[in-house]
Every structure is written in C-alpha cells, then in structure tokens.
Structure 1
Amino acid sequence: MFSGKVKKTALALLVSGFVTGTAYAAPEFLADFHAENGCDSCHASAKGSVSDDNLSHENAQCVSCHGDLKELAAAAPKDKVSPHQSHLIGEIACTSCHKGHEKSVTYCDSCHSFSFDMPYGGKWERKFTPVNADKDIQDKAIAAGAKETTDVVIIGSGGAGLAAAVSARDAGAKVILLEKEPIPGGNTKLAAGGMNAAETKSQAKLGIEDKKQIMIDDTMKGGRELNDPELVKVLANNSSDSIDWLTSLGADMTDVGRMGGASVNRSHRPTGGAGVGAHVAQVLWDSAVKRGTDIRLNSRVVRILEDANGKVTGVLVKGEYTGYYVIKADAVVIAAGGFAKNNDRVAKYDPKLKGFKATNHPGATGDGLDVAQLAGAATRDLEYIQAHPTYSPDGGVMITEAVRGNGAIVVNREGKRFMNEITTRDKASAAILQQTGESAYLLFDDSVRKSLKAIEGYMHLQIVKQGNTVEELAKQLNVPAAELATTVTTYNGFVKAAKDSQFERPNLPRELVTPPYYALEIAPAVHHTMGGVVIDTQAEVKSEKTGKPISGLYAAGEVTGGVHGANRLGGNAISDIVTFGRIAGASAAKYAKDN
C-alpha cells in the first residue's frame, strides 16, 4: 500500500492527465509505466497472476495509490465533465477503463459522446460474440465437471438480479451472482424517472388517491391490452409491498410524481426527485453484499446446463481472466436484461429502428435471452421494442420522463408545441420523428430545475442551453423567438385555466415563468425490449416444447416478456425488476431447498 503523500500526488497526476490532455509519451501501456515497481505492485503475485475475474486485488491497488471515485471526482475542475463523477454503483473497478497490458479505454464512451484524454488510451469498442462460440472448448469445460457448487446462480447484476440475490439469501440460499460487465448495475443504474406503485404510504402522506386496479388498467392500456393480465396483477398488487421492502433496506422512495400513461401520481423516487435507478441499485447492491452474496464481475454465462430430464443442473461460465468453468447449482435465475444495445437484433424484429442509438448500458445485447432459448425456454412479444422519446444526441444519455412530468414542454424547431408531453412513449417518439430534423427541444424553467435533482446531472454534462428570457433561449436554439415566446405564454395560460385545450395534457404542474429558461435537444432512441422468455406468476420459465415450467429455471426483469405488452409505461420497469426479482429469488431458493 502507499503513503498519503504518494497517493495525493498520484491522484493529482491522474486527474490532470484525464482532464487537460497531458501527453503520455512512451511507454505504450499502463503496465510499462508501472514496470519499475514490479508486477506485484498491481497483481496478486510477483509473477503477475490475476486475483480473480473481479480483479479485486488489482483494483484495490489502484485505489490505494490514486484514490477512489469520490476523491478523483472532487479533485477534477468544476468546469469540466468528470468521468469519475458518475452513476456507477458498487465496488470501484478502475480496471473497467485503465488496462495494464492493452490500450486503456473510457468505458463512459460506450454510452456517452464526450471526449476524454485517457492515459495510454485506445478506442472503446465491442463486438458481439454469440454465447455458443468456442463450442468445442465449452464442451470440454462441461466434460471436466463442476468447479464449485451453490444453491442458486443468478445471471445479471441489475435491479432484478440484485433483488433476487437479496431475496434468495434471506430465504437461506447460498447464492453466486454472475455479471458479464466489469461494473454492476445493468440498466437499473441508468434509470432516472421513478418506480410506479399504488396505494403506498408515500402517496397517502401526500394525499394522493390511487388504486392498484387503476395501475392495472393503466398498464394494460399502455401495453395495448397485449400484456399477460396475471403478470400485470402481480406487478400492481405487489407494488406497494415492494416499496416497503426497498424502504426496509434503506431506500428513500418518498417523492412521488407522474410519468407518461399514468392516471395518478404514482412514480416513487428519492427526495427532491433524484435519479431512482442508481439509488435503488446501490441499496440492493449494499444489501446483497451485506448478506454475503458471492458477486463475480467479468463473468459471462454462456450455457445453462440441464440433465437428461430437462432439469437445471448449473451453468457454464466464461471468466474474462479465469476462462471457462462449471458451477453446479440447484436453481438458476436469469436476470440479464434485454437486447436494446444490439441493433442488429433490434432491426431484425423492428426494421424501422435500424441504426437507432440506444439508451441502454453496453451489456444489453441479449445474452440472457440466448442462453434461455438454448435451454428450451419459450419466448413472446419479441417484436415489441420501445423507443424512448427523450434521448440527448449531444450527451448520449436518456433524459428522464420526470422532467416532463414536473412541467417541461416539448417544442419543435419552429418553436411550437406539437404533442401532449406525457403521452405514452411510443406516441411521443412517433410525434418527434415527424418534426423537422426528427428531433425536438425539451424546454423548462428554473422552477422545474429546482423540483428535480436529476436535472443537475444534465447540467454537469453541459448539454443544456440557457437564457435569461425565453427570447434569449430561442437565439441559443436558433428557433423563432416570437413564436417560442407565444408558445410559452399560451401554455402558461393553459396552466392557469387548469386545462390544455390544445393537446389535452392531463397534468399541468406549474407555469414556466421563473428565469433562467433551459432547453436541450431530444430525439428517440431504443430503450426497452418488451419481449423475452415466458414466465408464470412465480417467475418460473416455461418450456417452448411443453408449455410447462423448466425445473429449476427462473427469470425476472427485461429478459422476460408479458408484463408490459406492446409498450412499457415509464416507471413500470423498476417496479417490474424489484417485484419479480424478489419473487424469482424466493422461488429459486425454495426450489433449491426442496430438491
């Protein structure tokens, strides 16, 4: 380990190089730069062997010298976008970006579009590799037998996987959670809007009258009545219990707003409207770790193993650094998310979305769906893929629906409103694509900004235009100032009258009269894949051949189909992953105990 003085100097050098673009001359790789310290300055031994697929020892060595994410973020200039000020959760993983024996990469580039000067850097890129690649090598690893044994294996470390892990551990099961990415959290850590739930304590305190049946009706209507009604009932009827469960784990879900397609304010989030996803993911991560869950990153499940009778017996894993190995398990929970980041697959099911950007994390390529289908799982609704209407082309980041829910309006390049801002995502996306440039502007004032902490993240990313007056903002956007001013004035009149006679927007939370005024460009991007494996109300995966549950196989979250029908309502994803994640974990643990 290193002294405080050395650590402080190393931190300053790292931040300086990252932010200002310091020239890093030869040596070529980061390992070369550290060579004089010996291999064991980074690795677990003088021979340079890695500690595990998490690179636990290596990352700890980085932190001991350079500091953790908070220290690095605090040391960065305030006028620059800091890659260390992030929404990442869990243990720090410096090696996600900083590579020793190959070019380093900026993992942020997998989603964002900012330019960072990475020491010893190369270009971040990923090529999708089918899960059944290297089949001969995989077969040999299977033939070699199990390397270890557990009760339950969980695939994926997003909200569904982490909820399942906590639930299974609380039911007494030994759990190994496997995540193919170098950092945990999946799409959950990106979610910002809220978690839909009905008849909650937070709603009651705020005087909000809601019913679980109304949530069921809204969800079915939003999904064009193509949802599995029984799954929707589970979603809604367990939603308030899921809020209570998260609260018992330490989550703050006291702020309640509204998202598109909801009849009532039921979108729960932290105080002040902070981003819900990273908060929930961190709470679940901390809870899983506290309960002794064995969590392994850089660990891709490539096959679910079954016996001759179709009963699950474990998984084949490809560790990024340890290679292929088998884990024997009584039950497996697939919580690996969807495939929105795999545009080839997206375009296969919906050609209109070919070439679209995606709001998802880089690991959302469909691996979980692939291993499930190889295990004989039935699927449904794969053709239903949702585009989120408010993606920032400048920042490469999704703008939460809560900005509109708290009062923002959407205008086109002519300075005019053209839709009900809190309509469902499919309708909003279609309306934006009909405008000049196939994009629009999200416009709000300082009162909206102050009502929602999530907006500060967009300010930090420097993707928001600002003006002291509406006319000044119009110049920044290059839209007709008089037209934009008339639009805002007209909208404010609707708010005063409590009726939007132009587009029938149902909620009108505030006038836009408090300067400064803000706007950012938005365009649709692929956001959620509604289809996936077929499950029942106990999260059991059904067989394509028999229609019956596959013994020992469970699933939760975006990898499943049926909950959302043809279109997911904003706020239902977090509710889905928490509720069905809990059910899957408990069901898997019970199965492991009974078999």
Structure 2
Amino acid sequence: MSNVDLLGRRKFIAGLGVAAGAAMVAPAMAVSEKADGVKWDKEIEIVIIGSGFAGLAAGIEATKLGAKDVHIFEKMSYFGGNSAINGGLFAAPGTPMQSKEGVNDSVDRMVADQLAAGCGIADEALLRHVAEHAMEALQMTFDAGSEYHPYLQQLGGHSVARTYQTTVSCGAGITQPLLHKCRELGVHTHNRSKFEGFLVGEKGEVLGVKMRDNYHFGEDQPGKVINIRAKRGVIMATGGFAQNVNLRMAQDPTLTSEVGCTNAPGATGEGMYEMFRLGAVPVHLAHIQSGPWASPDEGGFGYVSNYSIYNFPHSIAINRLTGQRFMDEIADRKTRADAELACRDEQGNALPPILITSYKDSKKHPNTKKVIKYNVGWKFDSVEELASHFNVPLKALKTQIEEYNQYVKSGEDKQFGKNMTKAAGKYIEAPFTVVRLWPKVHYCQGGVQINTKAEVKDSFTGVAIPGLYAAGEVCGGIHGVSRLGSCSIPECMVMGMTAARSMMKA
C-alpha cells in the first residue's frame, strides 16, 4: 500500500489553502507510513522533537516523574531553537516579585487580558490551564539557574506588571539552564537530527518516528534515516512556521519574503504539517503575528526589540509625517502593528514611525547602549535636533510632548487611554533616545489543536491521536487573534510539562 493510500482518508493539506508545490520552502516535507513490517533501529521510552522551551520542560518533567530513557531531538546544529533567540520575557500571576512590588494579580486577571487580545476566538480552557501552572514553570527556570532583572515589566495588553525578563534579555537565559538541567538529569540530547515522519499502527496510533541523523539544514543530506520506536509516545515541540514564506503567504499574501522575520531559520513547520497528515485539526493558521517593537534598521529580533518592549510604557510613538502620537504604546501587538503599518508618507510609501524616550529612563535597560553603539538608535540633546534628523514637524512635536507630559502628571492619557502606571514620574524630556519602528513576522498563532492534556485531537473522531502529544508554537487556537507578549514562554513550558505528565499517566 502506498503512503498516499495509507493516509488517504486524512488529506488535510488540501484544505489549508496552500497552492500545489508551495508547501515548503526548505527542507522537504516529511512523510509518515505504517509501522507494519518496519525494522526498528532503536527503542526509546519518550521521544521529544524540538529543543526549545516546550521540549526542554517536557524532558525535565518526564524525568522527574520517573522516566528513565528520555531523548530530545533537534534538527539544527544548536539547541534551543527559536526559543533561544526570543526576548526572554515570562509572564505569570502570583509571583514573588509581584508580591514584593505590591502588584495585585490573579489567574483570572491574566486570562481576561489574553481573552481580550484574542478577540473572541482564544481558547479559554487552555489559557486558564497555562495561567494556573505558570508559576510552576517559572519555578522550574529558577531551579535550573535562570536569572532575571530585579524588576517587573508591564507589556502591551497586560493590565498589570507581571513579566520577568532574563538578565541577558533573551530566551537563551532560560534554554541554556534548562538544557544543562536536562543533561544533569540524564536526558539524552541529539542535534542535527531531523524528524522525517511518524510510524503508525493499524489504528492510526503513533508508534514511533523516522529521524535523519547528521542533518545539515539547507544542504544535501549525507545522514541516514533511522526508525525509532517510542514506547510511551512522541511529544512534538517543533515550533512555528514563520520562516516558511510560502505557507505564511498562503494565509496572508502580504507576508512576502520582503517582510522581515524575527525567527530562527529552522522555523519551517514540517512537524506541524505531518501532524495534519495524520488527521490533526488545523486551527487559526491565518493569524500570524507581527512584533510592533521591531526595527527596520537591523535584521531579525535584534537589539531594538527588547529595548522597545522595556521602554514603551514611558515613551511616545510618533508619526513622522504629523509629529503626533498615533497609538497607545502598550496596546496589544496586533493593534500596534496595524497602527505602525498605517504610517505612510504623502505618496503612500512606508514611513517607519519613531519611539521617543528620555535617555535617563531608557538607559536603565542594557540594550540602550547597544542600539546607540550599533547605529540602530540615536541620542539627541534637543527636540530641535531630533525633529531635524527625522524631518518631523517641530511645532507639532513640541505640542505633543507638552500634552503627553500632562498625561504623565495627571495619570490619565486622554489621547489613547494608555495605562500610565509605569509612566508615573517619567516625563519626555531631553536628552532623548530614539529608535525607528516597523513590524516583523514574529509568531504563528495557528497550528494543531490540542486539549488541556497536551493531546493532539483527531479531526474525524474528536478524540486524541494515541501516542501523540504537542506543546508550544506548533499548537494553534490558544491565543486567538493576538498573543500578548511574554505569554509564549509560560505556554510552551506549561504545555511541555503537561505533555510529560499526561504521557507518564497513560
């Protein structure tokens, strides 16, 4: 029987709106097959595909629950995946630092903030599950040795300050300690190991995987494919598809190769695709989020992103054509990204807006020195100098700054309703630091549907596909239209831990 015949009843790729031949950029799509008659090269207790937040948390949790033979496979040459280069921002309610700073927060409040950003289509049960266990995941990072700045941040769309950030201001401050902890606990880690498909039983249950060893991303492949039996099951923690230009364009034609991306090159989505071929439910693939804190003056996530995230609460975003604010600087990501994209010159060409911050406030973040050093940010001693550099109407800008400073004084933003809690006492005054803003593709809200046990649901039966679990950005529908910043790390880790717990109970 051919692979097409074998999985014929589960043809879901056709329903995704992907043009024939445009499914993947690179590497080639994996193909699953029946395990009947397959020669197993290895037998492993637990197989985890992907070494980001979700995969590492799953490895640690499974081992703590008694698993003796846990293996994490990573297709790239380095561990950590896209997680290693994210912003290192972790949101949780009821944390020690909230208690220290007197912040009144709760699971209900965090869920409510996320539901508002999700615009009616987020999965409340999953959001609640993550929020309820977020502190456990944060504790796992503490135990592994992650270090955080001694202050909380209030990111866009969050009603209170609940976000920790690693001292290195990137996800590696979490992935590296978690990787070290995995190895300390005896978890086996393999890099240059690419997932090539599932091996399934007669009833569609996942029995194992095909893995290509000695894999070199984007090159001819010298490595051989081996068949691995997974005794307890497989956890897919393969991330999103933001670097798969063809797939993201099938969902949103405006996200061409000309649109920048903050993700690691391996975020291509083949693991997600193969779960669809097994019958997993595709959810919300068209909801692809762009980061409103990115800069057109540097590649990838860069230095400006974390700089902006920290400074948005006490800064003003200015349309260079008008010299006026054009958005709530801490609204949800989609609201801000759309507002930035609307900033155009009189001919309709893109005119990236600017974010203006007082240097005395911006310098408290370590990236301020870096954005100035690498010429992706500027320091000005006067508003006249700033306006001249960016060709911004001086009179309008001065008026706007004066008006905004009144909002800082009164605690009420009468222009856009911005929450001014974190802006208290932080006036916009010289000297200034300034960066340019322009969104970059950052996060895919779409993926496979899971339940609160991290089981992958079958689109025909509505029940879990036996032996298959998923966690992290490869899953869809959790956040709805817009994911709030700093909510991906708790989601990835909590669902990775959940997958391990479910697997060990099965």
After TM superposition, is the score higher than 0.5? yes
1:550 maps to what in 2?
465
8 Å CA contact retained: 1:458, 1:464: yes
- Residue among 393, 399, 413 paired with 2:320: 413
Cross-structure match for 2:435: 520
1:380 matched to 2:276:
no
Please state if 1:362 is matched with 2:255. no
Deviations 1:132-176 (A, max 9, x none): 3xx6xx979996622222111111111111111111122222111
SS in 2 for 1:257: coil
1:336 counterpart residue number: 238
The letter of the residue matching 1:222 is: A
Q: Which amino acid aligns with 1:288?
A: C
> Matched residues in 1 for 2:364 and 2:378: separation?
18
CA contact (8 A) 1:447 1:512 kept: no
Secondary structure of the corresponding residue to residue 392 of structure 1: coil
Distance 1:178 1:142, change over 3 A: farther
Q: Which residue of 2 aligns with 1:226?
A: 121
Q: After superposition, give the CA deviation of every residue in 1:149-205 in whole Å (9 maximum; x if it has no partner).
A: 211111111111111111112222211111111222222222226211111121001
- Give yes or no for contact 1:466–1:476 (8 Å, CA) kept in 2: no
CA deviation digits over 1:521-553, x for unaligned, max 9?
211121111111111111011112211111111
- Tell me whether 1:259 sits opposite 2:161 in the alignment: no
Q: Which of 285, 310, 324 matches 2:225?
A: 324
Distance 2:50 2:251 in 1: 24
In the TM superposition, residue 438 of structure 1 has moved relative to its aligned partner by: 4.6
Cα displacement (A) at 1:338: 0.8
Counterpart of 1:351?
A: 253
Q: Distance in 2 between matches of 1:179 and 1:455?
A: 33
Residues 337 and 420 from structure 1, CA distance in 2 versus in 1: closer, same or farther, beyond 3 angstroms? same
User: SS at 1:554's partner residue?
Assistant: strand
The reply to whether residue 190 of structure 1 matches residue 85 of structure 2 is: yes
Equivalences for 1:160-179 in 2 at 5 Å? 160-173=54-67, 174-179=69-74
Tell me the equivalent position of 2:10.
none
Secondary structure, counterpart of 1:557 in structure 2 = coil
Alignment map for 1:200-219 (pairs within 5 Å): 200-219=95-114
The answer to whether the 8 A contact 2:311-2:362 is kept is no
Asked if structure 2 preserves the Cα contact closer than 8 Å seen for 1:142 and 1:325, the reply is no
Whether 2:339 is the aligned partner of 1:431: answer yes
Are the counterparts in 2 of residues 470 and 485 from structure 1 also a CA contact under 8 Å?
yes
User: Would the aligned equivalents of 1:141 and 1:324 in 2 still touch at CA under 8 Å?
Assistant: no
Max radius of gyration: which structure? 1
For the 8 Å contact 1:195–1:276, the answer to whether it is kept is no
SS in 2 for 1:322: coil
Secondary structure of the structure 2 residue equivalent to 1:564:
coil
For 2:117, the aligned partner's letter is: G
Aligned pairs, number: 460
Aligned partner (choices 340, 355, 371) of residue 442 of structure 1? 355
CA 139–381 in structure 1, closer or farther in 2 if over 3 Å, else same:
closer
Higher mean C-alpha displacement, 455-464 vs 167-176 = 455-464
Query: Structure 2 vs 1, CA of residues 451 and 418 (structure 1 numbering), >3 Å: closer, same or farther?
Result: same
Which position in structure 2 is the counterpart of 1:494?
Answer: 407
Alignment of 1:5-20 (within 5 A): none
Shift, 1:491, TM fit: 1.8
RMSD across aligned positions (CA): 2.3
Q: Distance in 2 between matches of 1:181 and 1:457?
A: 28
Aligned residue type for 1:435: C
Which deviations, in whole Å up to 9, do the C-alpha atoms of 1:424-445 show, x marking residues without a partner? Answer: 1111111111112252112222
Partner of 1:23: none
Say if 2:291 and 2:440, in contact at 8 Å, map to a contact too: yes
Specify the alignment match of 1:270 in structure 2.
Answer: 166
The Cα of 1:359 is off from its aligned counterpart by 1.4
The equivalent position to 2:384 in structure 1, one of 461, 466, 471, is: 471
Given residue 285 of structure 1, which amino acid in structure 2 is its aligned partner?
L
TM-superposed CA distance for 1:402, in Å, is: 2.3
| Residues 141 and 463 of structure 1, relative CA distance in 2, 3 Å threshold | farther
Letter in 1 for 2:291: H
The alpha carbon displacement at 1:225 in A equals 2.0
Superposition deviation, residue 379 in structure 1: 2.0
Question: Is the Cα–Cα contact under 8 Å of residues 304 and 316 in structure 1 kept in the other structure?
Answer: yes
Match of 1:104 in 2: none
CA distance, structure 2, for counterparts of residue 186 and residue 409 of structure 1: 33
Instruction: Give the distance between the partners of 1:407 and 1:422, measured in 2 at CA.
Output: 9
SS in 2 for 1:584: helix
Identity %: 33
Alignment of 1:581-592 (within 5 A): 581-591=496-506
1:111-136 residue CA offsets vs partner (Å, 9 max, x unmatched) = xxxxxxxxxxxxxxx9513323xx6x
Q: 390-399 or 139-148: which moved more?
A: 139-148
Letter in 2 for 1:403: Y
Name the TM-score, length of structure 2 as normaliser: 0.85
Opposite residue 586 of structure 1, the aligned amino acid is R
Structure 2 residue corresponding to 1:452, chosen from 365, 385, 401: 365
Q: Partner of 1:260: helix, strand, or coil?
A: coil
Q: CA deviation at 1:396?
A: 1.3
